[in-house]
């Protein structure tokens, strides 16, 4: 007889193990057995809970996005005014919880998976839409709000991509500095026109 309440605990352990294993290997070339072993359970149990490695990975990315969303909402709640809110989004995007080596590796593989898996493509579209909407809301009523928001979104993605190619721990402070520098340059350039 299964222990009551163990399913959510085991599923979360598998989600966490998926993120760690994909970050460790640097690709989706991990097996359910490797993930299950890291989570301290059998691959049969992992298959029972998720059905496939793909579903496990999608659950892991939903978890990453949930944590990211919570951090962004918290940062926005503490920010006063549109400029502070915009900067809070950028800082949350590169916070120690969101910009860890394993999470950055998971993001890289998520972008790859989204090219061929409809569920991943839809999830990525939701994230990109929310990010763009939040950035645009902070930049209103500027005529170039959409252009700056798109540039910031691309810059965030690009900083994640560059980070995954570097050795050593992720440098969120450096990424925030680059993003804020870009933002300040865009805002100064637009005001000078």
Task: Give the tens place of pLDDT for each residue, 144-177.
Answer: 999 999 999 999 999 999 998 888 888 999 999 9
Q: Is 3 left (phi over 0), alpha (psi -120 to 50) or beta?
A: beta
Give 27 or 155, the one with higher predicted confidence. 155
Arithmetic mean of pLDDT, 14-40: 92
- Give, in order, the Cα–Cα distances in Å from 172 to each of 45, 77, 86, 154: 36, 21, 17, 16
pLDDT at 180: 97
pLDDT at 25: 87
Q: How far apart are CA 153 and CA 70, in angstroms?
A: 18
Under the banding of pLDDT at 50, 70 and 90, the label for residue 3 is low
Lowest mean pLDDT among 3-7, 16-20, 50-54, 170-174: 3-7
């Amino acid at each position: 007889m299964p222990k009551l309440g163990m399913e959510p605990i085991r599923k979360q352990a598998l989600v966490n193990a998926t993120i760690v294993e994909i970050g460790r290997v640097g690709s989706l070339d991990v097996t359910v057995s490797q993930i299950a072993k890291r989570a301290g359970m059998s691959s049969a149990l992992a298959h029972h809970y998720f059905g496939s490695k793909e579903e496990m990975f999608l659950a892991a990315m939903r978890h990453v996005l949930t944590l990211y969303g919570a951090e962004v909402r918290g940062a926005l709640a503490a920010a006063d005014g549109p400029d502070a809110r915009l900067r809070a989004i950028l800082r949350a995007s590169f916070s120690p919880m969101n910009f860890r080596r394993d999470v950055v590796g998971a993001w890289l593989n998520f972008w790859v998976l989204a090219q061929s898996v409809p569920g991943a493509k839809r999830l990525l579209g939701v994230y990109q839409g929310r990010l763009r909407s939040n950035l645009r809301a902070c930049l209103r009523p500027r005529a170039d709000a959409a252009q700056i928001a798109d540039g910031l979104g691309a810059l965030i993605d690009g900083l994640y991509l560059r980070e995954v190619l570097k050795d050593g721990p992720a440098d969120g402070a450096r990424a925030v500095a680059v993003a804020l520098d870009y933002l300040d340059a865009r805002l100064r350039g637009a005001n000078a026109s």
